[in-house]
Amino acid sequence: MAESSPTVRGLFAFCDGTAPTPDSLLKKGTDPWESAFSPQIETCVRGSVPVFNRLLPEIAPVKRYPSASRFRRAAGLLPTILLAVTQATPLAAADAIAIWPNERGPGDATQLEAERDTTKPTDQLIAGKRVARIGNVSVPTIEVFSPPAEKSTGAAVLICPGGGHHILAYDLEGTEVAEWLNTIGVTGIVLKYRVPFRNPENRSQAAVQDAQRAMSLVRSRAGDWKIDKERIGILGFSAGGEAAARAALAEARTYERQDDVDDVSPRPDFAVLVYAAGLITKERDKLRDDVRVTEKAPPMFLAHAFDDGARIENSLLLYLRLKQVGVPAELHAYASGGHGFGLRRTDEPCTGWPERCAEWMRGRKIVP
């Protein structure tokens, strides 16, 4: 048994330490879905077992149309899931680390319901797979996913999932990105920043604060995590791309010093922005006044689709401004692909952006 896998431990703990059967699961509660296919198991299994996505169509009807026969059929799939879990090679992730000394962030007294995966069975699939949409984040955290020691390059990337500052696409634009980064020897650090937004007048404020704090925390722990503190970048998608861009461009902290961690620089050494949003005016003809680009900005890689509802002008105008101030940047503008594709491969060329990004990182000597 893969004792190092938190997925295995979580599933076995729920199933009383024995392989699940339809009969044993049916005894766990009067509501089959809530007892057997709770959000905890669903999230736990989906996090590291690709086969779960193939089995989800068999399980999902149980919630929509509960019946004994449907439930027994779905519950009978759990041994298959369990086998896949025991054979999986999980990412080497540490426990989630709260980034703020007071857990919630400076001055944040917002009262929310419990954090949860808000995804519904009817929500859109991406590349045929479900997306974990995490909502009600009160305590921002980071999860550190390290590549094998023999493959590590010392580079690291803080990952900011998107979600319109309402939710976080935590697997599509978070843990799956960390997994890809690990394949090229880069430590992936997934930031679970506060959502929904706290300030209607400045929707990205909490996310940028969390990104800056997380960057300082990562840099302060570089020795512990075997990271080169001068090769720590930031990567963001959509609203997370806005947070990443603003954190990269900011010349000062956006919050008051909290402790010694804030004595460490919050500026990333490079930035990767994939279909970034929130950077342009409503007229789409210029960057917003509060998006200030100077020669101090780090090198950037940008990717966007022409038909993206979160307009490609976000990337085009930022790229042009970077060019004007002399900051190295690379832009990939794809003819189609829409929004929110993450790095799940489809026939769309835009889903090949990770390969282009890896080439850019090698060209910048971020990785060998």
pLDDT in tens, 249-297: 999 999 999 999 999 999 999 999 999 999 999 999 999 999 999 999 9
Mean pLDDT along residues 76-94: 48
Mean pLDDT along residues 324-347: 97
Mean pLDDT along residues 341-368: 97
Q: Between residues 237 and 4, which one has the greater pLDDT?
A: 237
Mean pLDDT along residues 8-17: 39
Q: Between residues 16 and 188, which one has the greater pLDDT?
A: 188
* Per-residue pLDDT at 78: 53
**pLDDT above 70: residue 93:** no
**pLDDT above 80: residue 32:** no
* Per-residue pLDDT at 88: 40
The residue extents of the domains of the chain are 6-87, 92-363
* Per-residue pLDDT at 95: 80
**pLDDT above 90: residue 205:** yes
**Percent of the chain with pLDDT strictly greater than 70:** 74
pTM: 0.77
* Per-residue pLDDT at 65: 42
Per-residue three-class SS string for the chain: CCCCCHHHHHHHHHCCCCCCCHHHHHCCCCCHHHHHCCHHHHHHHHCCCCHHHHHHHHHHHHHHCCCHHHHHHHHCCHHHHHHHHHHCCCCEECCCEECCCCCCCCCCCCCCCCCEECCCCCCCCECCECCCEEECECCCEEEEEECCCCCCCCCEEEEECCCCCCCEECHHHHHHHHHHHHHCCCEEEEEECCECCCCCCCCCHHHHHHHHHHHHHHHHCCCCCCCCCCCEEEEEEHHHHHHHHHHHHCCCCCCCCCCHHHHCCCCCCCEEEECCCCCECCCCCCECCCCCCCCCCCCEEEEEECCCCCCCHHHHHHHHHHHHHCCCEEEEEECCCCCCCCCCCCCCHHHHHHHHHHHHHHHCCCCC
**pLDDT above 60: residue 43:** no
**pLDDT above 70: residue 84:** no
Mean pLDDT along residues 147-165: 97
* Per-residue pLDDT at 92: 52
Q: Between residues 62 and 113, which one has the greater pLDDT?
A: 113
What is the architecture of the domain spanning 92-363? 3-Layer(aba) Sandwich (3.40)
* Per-residue pLDDT at 297: 98
Mean pLDDT along residues 12-27: 41
